[in-house]
């Protein structure tokens, strides 16, 4: 049995305030991503882009750059002031999002989104590390799930607000309107969040050990269970990105719905589904993992096993049945991340948490988001001549096969985990 350490003292009310600020920051992070998703169809028409180019902008230009830059930022976050890193990054990506609204070509938009990706990579690794220092291990899956509510907040802002502004004032105005408020939030973050002592929530033991990049990489590579569930969850993201990034375009193109309507109901349903899915997963994982930490991974695996059929029903249902299957798919897609981050912070040394989080995000974004967006864009263009508007439907459907491979990697990690971390947990 892989047992968790004993209980620690519950943190003060200020910890919850910090968590709410980080939720707002994460919301701004995803609002700047989802505004591009809801505006893909009008951007395509205005700039005369192909689906492959849309996939490159949302995948390679954003997610791949985000992932690689995140490794460098995570090393900085493991030794630097995490609060200041997050605030500076928030100001930068918000300004660059507004700048996207001033672009007039594929190349200009590509470069601007690359800049957004670099800046946004400095959000989650230091934020995860801060949360682990404000909340004890027995509460972290729930804390991480509450943090991930920011994704739902960003989805609602990007889809509802961005969709409405885009329909009435154009996609350029939508980017500017979503980007500018983040600069003010950056100032609030810098002035209100305190940098905690590292390891403060780990039974009062402060770990002052600093690992070199080579030592950190070697530590992870010597634990195949970590590498396995990193790859497994990356493939889960690959399957989930079909709904996460392409559902609005699918609804506009295949079902003929206007962008304002799509933005409204996907924003409302997506935000509520993502919020409830993430919090449910965190609550369940915290309780089940008290005796065995591997329950974090079982919870993640169970969510994906149900998410794949929900996605397929969404893609192949009549228009009136699409909303409930969209809700179910987004709910289940929100399940894997909080427990996966929580187990990572339980098994990794204190000053390796941000880097380990960045490695997970590298897989999520490089393999998952970037890979899926390119595959959908490529096959949608390739099949357009024979399938017409339905090409995007089948391109989205084939990505679900990735979840099967992800399940195999995750099951291997569950079996291997006690052997890899027996020295840490004494079992």
pLDDT value, residue 4: 45
The residue assigned the tokens 């990706």 is 117
DSSP state of 317: S
3-state secondary structure of 321: helix
Q: Any idea how long the chain is?
A: 427
Say which residues have a Cβ less than 8 Å from residue 179's Cβ, sequence separation at least 6: 32, 94, 95, 96, 97, 98, 99, 100, 101
pLDDT value, residue 6: 38
**In angstroms, rounded to a whole number, what is the distance separating the alpha carbons of residues 226 and 234?**
12
How would you write the pLDDT of the chain (427 residues) with one tens digit per residue? 444 443 433 457 898 999 999 999 999 998 988 888 888 888 998 999 888 888 788 766 677 777 777 777 777 777 778 999 999 999 999 999 999 999 999 999 999 988 888 888 888 888 988 998 888 877 888 888 889 888 888 888 888 888 888 888 889 999 999 899 999 999 999 999 998 877 666 655 455 566 676 788 888 888 899 999 999 999 999 999 999 889 988 998 999 888 778 888 888 898 889 889 988 988 898 889 888 889 999 999 999 999 999 999 999 998 888 999 999 999 999 898 889 988 888 888 877 877 788 788 888 888 888 888 889 989 999 999 999 989 999 999 999 999 999 999 999 999 999 988 875 545 4
**Domain assignments of the chain as residue spans, ordered by start:** 13-192+221-421
The residue assigned the tokens 């030592």 is 215
**In angstroms, rounded to a whole number, what is the distance separating the alpha carbons of residues 29 and 44?**
23
Tokens in use for 258?
């206007």
Asked if residue 300 lies in contact with residue 236, where contact means CB atoms within 8 angstroms, the answer is: yes
pLDDT value, residue 226: 92
For CA atoms 278, 68, 424, 137, the dihedral sign is: negative
**In angstroms, rounded to a whole number, what is the distance separating the alpha carbons of residues 97 and 186?**
14
Q: What is the 3-state secondary structure (H, E, C) of 201-269?
A: CCCCCCCCCCCCHHHHHHHHHCCHHHHHHHHHHHHHHHHHHHHHHHHHHHHHHHCCCCHHHHHHHHHHH
Say which residues have a Cβ less than 8 Å from residue 405's Cβ, sequence separation at least 6: 232, 235
3-state secondary structure of 81: coil
Which pairs with CB-CB distance under 8 Å and at least 24 residues apart come from 375-379?
Answer: 375/55, 375/399, 376/51, 376/55, 376/242, 376/245, 376/246, 377/50, 377/51, 377/52, 377/53, 377/54, 377/55, 377/56, 377/59, 378/51, 378/52, 378/55
Exposure string over 392-425, b if 16+ CB within 10 A, otherwise e = bbebbbebbebbebbbebbbbbbebbbebbeeeb
Q: What is the pLDDT of residues 118-152, one digit of tens each?
A: 888 888 888 988 998 888 877 888 888 889 888 88
Asked if residue 239 lies in contact with residue 406, where contact means CB atoms within 8 angstroms, the answer is: yes
> CA nearest 229: which of 173, 290, 299, 284?
299
**In angstroms, rounded to a whole number, what is the distance separating the alpha carbons of residues 73 and 83?**
13
pTM of the full predicted structure? 0.73
Asked if residue 233 lies in contact with residue 407, where contact means CB atoms within 8 angstroms, the answer is: no
Asked if residue 363 lies in contact with residue 230, where contact means CB atoms within 8 angstroms, the answer is: yes
**In angstroms, rounded to a whole number, what is the distance separating the alpha carbons of residues 352 and 356?**
6
C-alpha to C-alpha distances, 328 to 34, 69, 226, 262, 391, nearest whole angstrom:
19, 33, 29, 17, 23
Say which residues have a Cβ less than 8 Å from residue 174's Cβ, sequence separation at least 6: 35, 38, 39, 101, 161, 162, 163, 165, 166
DSSP state of 336: S
Tokens in use for 7?
């209980």
**In angstroms, rounded to a whole number, what is the distance separating the alpha carbons of residues 236 and 333?**
8
Superfamily of the domain at 13-192+221-421:
MFS general substrate transporter like domains (1.20.1250.20)
């Amino acid at each position: 049995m892989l047992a968790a350490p004993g209980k620690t003292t519950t943190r003060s009310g200020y910890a919850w305030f910090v968590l709410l600020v980080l939720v707002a920051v994460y919301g701004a992070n995803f609002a700047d991503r989802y505004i591009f998703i809801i505006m893909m169809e009008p951007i395509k028409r205005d700039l005369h882009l192909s689906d492959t180019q849309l996939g490159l902008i949302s995948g390679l230009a954003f997610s791949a750059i985000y992932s690689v830059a995140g490794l460098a930022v995570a090393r900085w976050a493991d030794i630097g002031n995490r609060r200041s890193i997050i605030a500076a990054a928030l100001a930068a990506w918000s300004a660059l999002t507004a700048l996207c609204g001033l672009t007039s070509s594929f190349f200009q938009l590509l470069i601007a989104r690359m800049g957004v990706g670099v800046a946004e990579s400095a959000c989650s690794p230091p934020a995860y590390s801060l949360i682990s220092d404000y909340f004890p291990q027995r509460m972290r899956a729930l804390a991480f799930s509450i943090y991930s509510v920011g994704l739902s907040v960003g989805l609602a802002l990007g889809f509802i607000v961005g969709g409405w502004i885009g329909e009435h004032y154009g996609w350029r105005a939508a980017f500017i309107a979503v980007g500018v408020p983040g600069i003010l939030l950056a100032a609030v973050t810098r002035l209100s969040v305190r940098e905690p002592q590292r390891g403060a929530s780990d039974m009062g033991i402060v770990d002052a050990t600093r690992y070199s990049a080579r030592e950190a990489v070697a530590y992870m590579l010597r634990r195949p269970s970590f590498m396995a569930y990193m790859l497994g969850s990356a493939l889960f993201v690959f399957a989930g990105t079909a709904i996460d990034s392409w559902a609005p375009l699918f609804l506009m193109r295949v079902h003929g719905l206007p962008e304002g309507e799509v933005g409204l109901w996907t924003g409302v349903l997506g935000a509520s589904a993502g919020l409830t899915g993430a919090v449910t997963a965190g609550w369940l994982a915290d309780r089940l993992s008290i005796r065995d930490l591997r329950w974090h991974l079982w919870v993640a695996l169970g969510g994906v096993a149900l998410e794949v059929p929900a996605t397929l029903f969404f893609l192949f249902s009549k228009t009136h049945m699409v909303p409930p299957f969209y809700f179910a798919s987004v709910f289940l897609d929100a399940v894997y991340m909080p427990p996966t981050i929580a187990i990572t912070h339980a098994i990794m040394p204190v000053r390796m948490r941000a880097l380990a989080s960045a490695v997970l995000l590298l897989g999520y974004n490089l393999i998952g988001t970037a890979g899926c967006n390119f595959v959908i864009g490529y096959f949608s263009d390739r099949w357009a001549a024979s399938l017409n508007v339905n090409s995007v439907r089948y391109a989205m459907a084939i990505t679900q096969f990735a979840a099967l491979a992800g399940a195999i990697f995750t099951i291997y990690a569950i079996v291997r985990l006690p052997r890899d971390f027996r020295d840490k947990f004494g079992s």
